[in-house]
Chain A
Amino acid sequence: MKRLVIGVSASALFVASAAAQTTDDVLFNGTVGDACTVVADTDGTLALNGTSTVLGSAEAGGAAGTATVTTNNTTFNVTIDPIAAFTTGPADADTNTTFATQYDAAGATTATDVDGATPTTLGNGVTNLTVDAAATKTSGTFSAGTYQLTATVRCSS
């Protein structure tokens, strides 16, 4: 009788131990979508060249604008949207005037002196862009007044 009790107890302990060791996985699923964030950090400043024919951020006294583009994959491009006209300026601001933009990229993407309309594939991560803009008179010179133009940094897939 004593042996029977010991045997049953041992079996019960074995079963309890086996039950305690049973494991199962709990799965956690998640999805990260494609992401591109553009933050225009600092605006630029336009300055006039010596002959009053170029109003640009690369001229002496001017300053380039900066932007930060953050992506989480390598399927995005960056470009600068072509500038068609000054946002504000004297009446003859856009007359005989052409516009150009150029950018440099550092960080996740490396590029130098790229024409604004030329797309550059962005690397995965944070890209720091330096953007220059210029307006050039093909004929005549810039009149006195306050000028403003806007360059748009575009991230697209």
Chain B
Amino acid sequence: MLLLKTFFARTALVLLCLATLASEAALGQSLSPMRAEVVTFGDVGAVRTSLRNPYTTARRFDIEVFDLDWNKVDDARLTRKTLSLAPGATTSILALLPVTDENPRSVYVCASSRSYRPTSAGLRGQVCGRYQVIKRQL
């Protein structure tokens, strides 16, 4: 009986977690989260964010990292700088940021959509989430 109760309690917990994830994934946002703090005890902080294609057609996305003055951050490493996404699809992006003298280090991770057939004055949508890497000492 006790085993059965434990099983149902665990199943309910898993279902609750899945429901929470599903409700967040259903939001039509391009980057999620848009703000986050990452604590690292090493020399590199890892920022993970989800990119969603809100368009009704497949799009190509460029991922870039900027500092708060909108200068490109050259020492950031991205798992993917350019990618294609099906309509409504979501993918994960990982940005690795070395910790510098600036602590905490704040950056924008931006995703820009690119049309496959631009005209003479093409428009691109860009969404930039703001993330902070904080180095802590052990």
Contact = CB atoms under 8 A, between A and B. Distances in A.
Interface of A: 29-46, 57, 62-63, 65-67, 70, 81, 87, 131, 133, 146-157
10 contacts: A36-B31, A36-B127, A38-B30, A40-B113, A63-B121, A67-B125, A70-B28, A87-B122, A147-B120, A154-B128
B125 A39 contact: yes
A45 B27 contact: no
Contacts of B124: 40, 150-153
Interface residues of B, number: 32
A34 B33 contact: yes
Given A36-B29, A156-B110, 8 more contacts: A34-B34, A36-B127, A43-B118, A65-B122, A149-B122, A150-B124, A152-B112, A155-B125
A115 to B, nearest CB: 16
Contacts of A67: 123, 125
Contacts, number: 125
Interface of B: 20, 23-24, 27-35, 54-55, 108, 110, 112-113, 115, 118-130
Contacts of A146: 120
Contacts of B31: 36
Contacts of B34: 33-36, 157
B121 A38 contact: no
A35 B29 contact: yes
B65 to A, nearest CB: 13
Contacts of A40: 113, 115, 122-125
Contacts of B129: 157
Nearest to A148: B120
Nearest to A68: B125
A105 to B, nearest CB: 14
